[in-house]
Amino acid sequence: MIMDEKFHAILSVAVIPQTVALIAEKEGMDDLEALRAFYGSKVYELLANEETKLWHYSPLTLYTMWKQEQETGNIVFPEE
């Protein structure tokens, strides 16, 4: 339970807002458009699942993955 709370706190305080801000800035969207675009993506769906470990990627990396998904329909995972 506590790990679940920490995971959601990390996402909601740091990872998601920073990623959405990058989408808004780089794509010329307002905050609400960027939020909807991110929440509607497969990248967000994977990020919301703790087991995928996407939360350890930087917001810039997540933005890049989101952008690739938007352009191609595919998600490219960075090499470790």
Tens digits of residue pLDDT in 9-42: 555 657 899 999 999 999 999 999 999 999 999 9
Dist CA 59 CA 61 (whole Å)? 5
Check residue 45 and give its pLDDT.
95
Query: 38 near 26, Cβ under 8 Å?
Result: no
- How many angstroms from the chain centroid is the CA of residue 62? 5
**Cα–Cα–Cα angle for 45, 28, 43, rounded to 5 degrees:** 10
pTM of the shown model: 0.85
Answer positive or negative: Cα dihedral of 5, 34, 49, 67: negative
